[in-house]
Amino acid sequence: MVDRVRGRVTCRPAPAPSARNSEAAQEPAHVYGRQPCYAHTTAVVSRVLLYYGEMVGRHPLPFILLPLAVFAGLGASLPRVEWFDYTDQADMLWSSRTLREQAIVQRLFPDRTANKYDAVELSEDQIMAIIIFQARDNSSVYDPDVLSEIRQTLSSVKQNVTARVGNMTYTYEDLCGKRDGACVVTGERLLSPQFDTLRKSGLLTYPKWKLPNNETIDFSFALADADSKLRRAGVVRVTFKLRHDLKEEAYAWENAFVEFVKRLEPRNTNIAFSTSQSFRQERQHGVNADLPSLWAALATMTACAWVVTVGGDLVSTRALLLIGGILPPVLGSISAAALLSLCGIKLVHFVHLAAVLVLGISFNITFLLMSCWSETIQNTELTVPQRLGVTLSQTGVGIAIASLSVSVSLAVAYTSNFIGLSCLCLFVGLAVFLTFICHMTIQLACMALHGRRVYSSRHALTCLRTKARDVLRRVGRRPCYAFCCGGSVPSEHRADESPVERVLRKTLTFMAQSLVIKVTTIVIFLGVTAVAIYGVTKLKEGVSITTLVPRSSYFFTYMTMDAAHFGFSFPVAFVIDDRAEYNLSTAQKMEELLQTARDDRLVEDEFVRCWLTDFVKSPFFSREQAGGHFILGKVQDFLINTTRFLSDAIFDETGQHLIASRCFVFSEKTSDQHELASFMQRMRRLAESSELPVFVFHPSFLSYEQFLSVLPTTLQTVGIAVAVLCVVHCIFLPHPLVTAVVVINMLSSMVDVLGFMTLWGVTLSSDTMVHVILSMVFTVSFATHVCAAFLTPKSETRSERALHATSCAAVPLFNFGTASLAGLLVLLSSQSYLFETFFKVTLLALAFGVFNGVFLTTAVMALVGPENLRHMANSSQQKRQEQATPPVESTSNRCFPNEETVSRFQNASNSPKLCEKTSNGHNVAEKGFIPGTQDKSNVYNFPGWLQQGRSVTVPRDNMDEARPSTPYYVPVLPPRLGYPQEMLGSHNEFENIIRYHKHERDKTGLPVTSALQQARRPKDHVMKSSYQRWSAYAPAGIPSYRPHQEVDNVLSGKSFHRSGESLERVGGIVETLSKRGSLASSQTYILEMFKYGRRQ
């Protein structure tokens, strides 16, 4: 134990009462009755945490070394962590209809990009490189100088861009998609001399040109800013198609293409370029470029946390305890990544953002533990293990609820259909849980070592013994030396806190006491919620692709120019993947299906590609086929003569059965994701309503499925979090009002985040969905800690418990919010959309979490929170006791302390009277004494052991000689007022009190003239705890009994004193404090009286 007098660690048994027997002790069942469920559950959990904290305090080293060994073993597998190749792969869905249908299409329709390239029939996104040329100075791309420069650039790309894979070097000719033996370069023919001659003839029309055979050519896919006769065109787009069977080589050529075009310096044109990989690569490059800002944000959070926690001197400072707040998230995150790698789960690159959240949660736990640790400074009789046990018992419930709620809800969110979200939620949930384990082991052990160091008066950096600063100055040390090397054991309330914490505590405590501020807080909340609901009604989904990459990216330039001059159009395939009956009826049903699709507003009416309907109209279809099945030989002849349909009808190995076929319609040009997603749903419903075994497919449907899944996934995950939160609260804090407050707080915070992020210009996308879900971490933590702290103390009023919640939870939570805000502000310089939206969403979640959790929850609980614990636990019990209590004796046989009390019984059958006076002028009851010769009916009828009015002989003891026994009065003390529980409630309790004070005399060496009168004064926290239990000992038979008034009467009788000579002086102190208005409440009465007495 720590010898607090000598300031060193000894092995002597602790003379002080244990923490379990003092403030944390439970009330006797025969006095308080049965506790409500939530109070009993909280008490059981607190008791378990109390024992665990004391165990860690007694043996700290194993709780440091063993977790470090385990986490180090897990960290050894960190190099095995696998990552998704690109950020957009994490946006894919685990279960996607498009992916299933894509697998069917790829199985039925083989790839022909090597020799029969057709972009319409591709089953996956094209591999290609694109250049957009825009003529400068409002000229035309068909001007001779401009046209020559464009042709020269295209020729250089074909000849000079090479890709090296292994030992092989590939040019575009080796990797291009070919048709009819030539590379397919879309738009290149529009720059050929033949087309230029045709253009000059004036026969062409723009944007579409109808051929004599009724076919239509659309020039708008490659030309823009042109007139109706195509005499000029300001923009041309050229696309280099690549093979799909050599993807690795094709991707390498694309990278070489980007590097080559970046070096071009054209004189007559502006160039924008892109490849099939550009979006993924540039988006990832933007995220990687902002990673230094993320590390700077983490460093800023740590620095701000250090500033708000540094206080005291070089002995009592808690600055080194902040290491306990940094080490757990590092160990937890590394171990979580290692565990996921062992399970074969990949990580997404934006998992780095979770570091801010995990570090913030760790600082939150650290601030709460340090705040409660500082609260126990006033318990000077507690040893370090006991202090640690009390600290954990008071804050552990809220920490456990918040940590488990976040961990379980995020782990359950692994069932999300988004690959990236599920992996990220699993990682964050596991990291939060492991961080919680680190705090419950490593940080608690560090706090125990910190306590041992402080109570041994050792320097925080050198761990050498030192002296107080004033002592060093008195012995001649310089002020600088005394300041840097001196320090002492803290003895005052929260003496080791920083100035920031002290000012913040005073401010928040004042705000928690003001009814005006409470009402104002609720009014502000209602106004903010109304604005947020309006914002939710304006919520937009989807995001432009140009916002997902940095503005400095070449892909941003390309997408800006492409969106301004060219739209996005794609073919939609109606695929028959079953052995259908191919006859005239089937052809007619397909034609009806296609006609219905062409009636859609987003489908081009002029462009349809279907071999089935064209075959029926061709000469190869004869009348003998009209009544039965098609003649497959005729079908094959038709396909051979119409080569563009050759890959749209697939025969089996025997050539006797058609196993698959497809027809196409083409969409209008648009970039609105809402329209495209709705178009996909309409086409799918159309296919499902058809009698044919058909489905619709295009590779871009995958992104539209993701778009449609964002909002349902967000609501589902939030719903899971709410359910988990309710379950965890019902287990650890089963109070319906508190659970409702926390859930409503979280839901209102989520509504605020969604509403205000919409008003801030942030739409709901796959990125912001992740941010919104992770922001639940803040909203859960704030309200949970405040509500748990509200129910922890057994105070008399809601206001007192609100003050306790403000002091113990709201202040550290506000510090956590301040540190997190400082870190987030660093992300203002971010360029990527991922970090920009993370900053906005997390800032909103943090702001509303602090407001709703710290201010609103405190105000609501202070106004309508649960009733007094004792009142709720004993109302029915007290009624039963009152019914079983025999009639009170006649007032004529009783005496009362003053005229005011006597006047209350004027209507009684017998006249009441004042108690007899003692030698110094005070009556017996007013002094609170039970005279040994007086009958117990002449004093208050207190329940329990106070009813035992008995004759007691107190032996006088002056340590040197035994004197004759003399009768003395026994003071009427409230139960457990600084005494261990086992001393009270028995037949020899007074003898136990005498032995206790003799032991105190032996420990301190102070002279004692009377074992009882020289008793050391109980400490403030013990008196406060005892006063909170005083109402259970109300005098019987007094109508309209108010505990605080009766306590005042008893205390004015000098029940708390050091010696018999001090009785009158203490009474004068009480009178003085009453006159100057320092007694705001009876609880403050007790504290103020002894603070004043200490000053005297």
CATH (domain of 335) = 1.20.1640
| DSSP string computed for 1044-1057 | HHHHHHHHHTT-S-
Q: Which amino acid, residue 422?
A: S
CA angle, 732 then 781 then 871, to 5° = 45
- Give SS3 for 226: strand
CATH number at residue 864: 1.20.1640.10
pLDDT tens column, 300-358? 988 888 888 887 788 888 888 887 778 899 999 999 988 988 888 888 877 888 888 88
3-state secondary structure 432-449: HHHHHHHHHHHHHHHHHH
667 part of a folded domain: yes
Intra-chain end-to-end CA distance of the chain, in Å: 33
Average pLDDT over residues 479-483: 86
Residue 456 confidence (pLDDT): 86
Q: Which of 820, 857, 812 is nearest to 365 (CA)?
A: 812
**Is the Cα dihedral 800, 805, 808, 811 positive or negative?**
negative
User: Do 740 and 862 belong together in one domain?
Assistant: yes
User: Do 315 and 450 belong together in one domain?
Assistant: yes
Cα dihedral value 794, 797, 798, 799, nearest 10: -110
pLDDT tens column, 932-991? 333 333 333 333 333 333 333 333 333 333 333 333 333 333 333 344 544 444 444 445
User: Do 692 and 708 belong together in one domain?
Assistant: no
994 part of a folded domain: no
User: Do 315 and 394 belong together in one domain?
Assistant: yes
Task: For residues 7 and 222, give the distance between their C-alpha atoms in angstroms, rounded to a whole number.
Answer: 86
User: Do 708 and 849 belong together in one domain?
Assistant: yes
Residue 326 confidence (pLDDT): 86
Residue 89 confidence (pLDDT): 61
Cβ-based neighbour number of residue 78 at 10 Å: 12
Task: For residues 932 and 947, give the distance between their C-alpha atoms in angstroms, rounded to a whole number.
Answer: 13
- Band (pLDDT 50/70/90 cuts) for residue 1087 is very low
520 part of a folded domain: yes
Average pLDDT over residues 361-370: 89
Pair 812, 370: CB distance under 8 Å: yes
802 part of a folded domain: yes
Residue 342 confidence (pLDDT): 87
Residue 374 confidence (pLDDT): 84
pLDDT tens column, 421-453? 888 888 988 999 999 999 999 999 999 998 899
Residue 868 confidence (pLDDT): 55
Residue 895 confidence (pLDDT): 52
Pair 729, 787: CB distance under 8 Å: no
- The single residue listed with the structure tokens 């070449």 is 554
Average pLDDT over residues 465-489: 85
551 part of a folded domain: no
pLDDT tens column, 16-27? 344 444 443 333
User: Do 359 and 377 belong together in one domain?
Assistant: yes
User: Do 719 and 862 belong together in one domain?
Assistant: yes
Pair 790, 865: CB distance under 8 Å: yes
User: Do 707 and 684 belong together in one domain?
Assistant: no
Task: For residues 891 and 868, give the distance between their C-alpha atoms in angstroms, rounded to a whole number.
Answer: 32
Least confident span in 31-40, 298-307, 711-720, 737-746? 31-40
Cα 686 to Cα 325, 681, 707, distances in angstroms? 58, 9, 20
Least confident span in 276-285, 449-458, 980-989, 1052-1061? 1052-1061
Residue 499 confidence (pLDDT): 83
User: Do 187 and 220 belong together in one domain?
Assistant: yes
CB-count exposure of residue 1071 (10 Å: 0-12, 13-18, 19+)? exposed
Residue 320 confidence (pLDDT): 82
Cα 950 to Cα 879, 973, 984, distances in angstroms? 28, 15, 15
- The single residue listed with the structure tokens 């206001």 is 799
Task: Spell out the long-range contacts of 822-828 with Cβ–Cβ below 8 A and sequence spacing 24 or more.
Answer: 822/300, 822/301, 822/303, 822/304, 823/297, 823/298, 823/300, 823/301, 823/304, 823/356, 823/360, 824/297, 824/356, 825/300, 826/293, 826/296, 826/297, 826/300, 827/290, 827/293, 827/294, 827/297
Residue 939 confidence (pLDDT): 33
Dihedrals phi, psi of 183, to nearest 5 degrees: -65, 140
* pLDDT surpasses 50 at 14: no
Share of the chain above pLDDT 70, in %: 73
900 part of a folded domain: no
3-state secondary structure 316-333: CCCHHHHHHHHHHHHHHH
Cα dihedral value 903, 904, 905, 906, nearest 10: 50
pTM value surpassing 0.85: no
Least confident span in 798-812, 817-831, 998-1012, 1023-1037? 1023-1037
User: Do 691 and 733 belong together in one domain?
Assistant: no
Average pLDDT over residues 128-140: 92
User: Do 720 and 793 belong together in one domain?
Assistant: yes
**Between 36 and 812, whose confidence is greater?**
812
Cα 150 to Cα 190, 214, 241, 266, 271, distances in angstroms? 12, 32, 18, 9, 10
Boundary of a domain, candidates 697, 729, 761: 697
Residue 539 lies in domain:
498-545+700-869
pLDDT tens column, 845-904? 999 988 988 888 888 888 887 765 544 444 444 544 444 444 444 444 445 455 655 554
User: Do 712 and 678 belong together in one domain?
Assistant: no
581 part of a folded domain: yes
Boundary of a domain, candidates 869, 891, 923: 869
Q: Which of 438, 183, 464, 462 is nearest to 320 (CA)?
A: 462
Residue 157 confidence (pLDDT): 93
Average pLDDT over residues 375-391: 83
Average pLDDT, the chain: 75
**Between 801 and 1077, whose confidence is greater?**
801
Boundary of a domain, candidates 831, 848, 869: 869
Residue 900 confidence (pLDDT): 53
Residue 915 confidence (pLDDT): 54
**Between 625 and 603, whose confidence is greater?**
603
Number of structural domains, the chain? Answer: 4
21 part of a folded domain: no
* pLDDT surpasses 50 at 536: yes
Least confident span in 571-585, 589-603, 818-832, 1025-1039? 1025-1039
